[in-house]
Amino acid sequence: MAITGFLTDSTLCIGCKACEVACKEWNEVPSDGFVFTALSYDNTAALGHSTWRHVKFVEREPHAGHGGNSPSHVTWEFSSDVCKHCENAGCLEACPTGSIVRTEFGGVYVQPDVCNGCGYCVVTCPFGVVDRRPDDGRAFKCTFCYDRQKFGEQPACAKACPTSSILFGDLEQLQQLADQRIAKLHGEGMTDAKLYDARDTSVGGTHAMFVIRGDERAYNLPPNPEVPTVHLRKAWTSAAVAAGVIALTTLAAFAMERRS
């Protein structure tokens, strides 16, 4: 069974939000409330329990790396954000009920009929993706269209994208395509283009990768995401050292008492 992934190329995204609409329609995701966010046409604002794909509007100041023919004014770029389906998934590690599982395609899937709404997955997601619905407290996020993948179909967002900004397929092949795409962008003068996949972090890589330009934080992508359980090693080490010191102190006390 092939391990699949997303490759989202922000340099090809036109901000049409077809991916958002397709995701909502296929998965029957509730509306976002149609509230005014004051963020231009970005009416969804961020990923959440009712937004599993979010097209972020990125304002960029002109700087080196834009190419020789770039305008001198602020420009808009767009990027379709989604759950990263981490290789080392904090949400999966923290779930106490077994609601969150790794599928045969490599995605991280929340089983809504098993979720008890404890919220541990929300606070352990390094990307702030997992969210609880206010009506019943259960956690929701992108399912990687697991139901579609089981029948050989690609996720709804990738199928709906009109510019091929969202590619779906074998993870290793997508990584190769990303390298080729970045080399092409560099050759066209966009030397700030890079791949974001969190491979060199405790996350261990993501199954949703992004071709971006410049500072990843502008795309709501943390430079060094951390799986919270990595800090347990230090805690256990400290506990072991403390236990050792207590044991040695106790033995020393017994030894001194016997001598006296």
Domain made up of 4-228: CATH architecture: 2-Layer Sandwich (3.30)
Residues 24-60: tens digit of each pLDDT: 999 999 987 677 777 767 878 889 999 999 999 888 7
User: How many angstroms separate the CA atoms of 171 and 100, rounded?
Assistant: 21
Instruction: Give the phi and the psi of residue 239 in degrees, each rounded to 5.
Output: -65, -40
Residues 99-150: tens digit of each pLDDT: 999 999 999 999 999 999 999 999 999 999 999 999 999 999 999 999 999 9
**7-17: average pLDDT:** 96
Pick left, alpha or beta for residue 172 (phi over 0 → left; psi -120 to 50 → alpha; otherwise beta): alpha
Q: Helices in 64-162 by DSSP H: which ranges?
A: 90-94, 120-124, 146-149, 156-160
User: How many angstroms separate the CA atoms of 241 and 238, rounded?
Assistant: 5
CA 95 and chain centroid, separation: 17
**In the chain, where are the structural domains located?**
4-228, 230-260
- The answer to whether residue 191 scores a pLDDT higher than 60 is yes
- Entry pTM: 0.83
Tokens (6 digits) for 180: 């080729």
- The answer to whether residue 236 scores a pLDDT higher than 50 is no
